[in-house]
Amino acid sequence: MKPTVVGMATGAVLAFAALIFDFWGFLLTALFIAVGALLGRAAEGKIDFRSVSDALTGRRSSS
């Protein structure tokens, strides 16, 4: 399995415990899955956090 899939599955499993809190559990599930997918993409090397933070702070442009 790809690290992205593993990260999403890990986020879903961790978020399962949050499901007992109704709507807030749903929001936490979505958050955990998104974080898991992001970390999985970083493990694959498809996301470079340094370049993302540089772009957000205005240090580097995409053009």
pLDDT at 61: 60
pLDDT at 20: 78
Torsion of CA 29, 48, 40, 26, to 10 degrees: 10
Q: Rounded to two decimals, what is the model's pTM?
A: 0.60
* Domain boundary assignment for the chain: 3-57
Residue 63 pLDDT > 60, yes or no?
Answer: no
Q: Which residues of 19-57 are buried (b: 16+ CB within 10 A; e: fewer)?
A: eeeeeeeeebbeebbebbbbbbbbeeeeeeeeeeeeeee
- Give the pLDDT confidence of 7-62 residue by residue, as tens digits: 888 888 878 767 777 778 778 877 888 888 888 888 888 888 888 788 888 876 65
- Give the pLDDT confidence of 8-18 residue by residue, as tens digits: 888 888 787 67
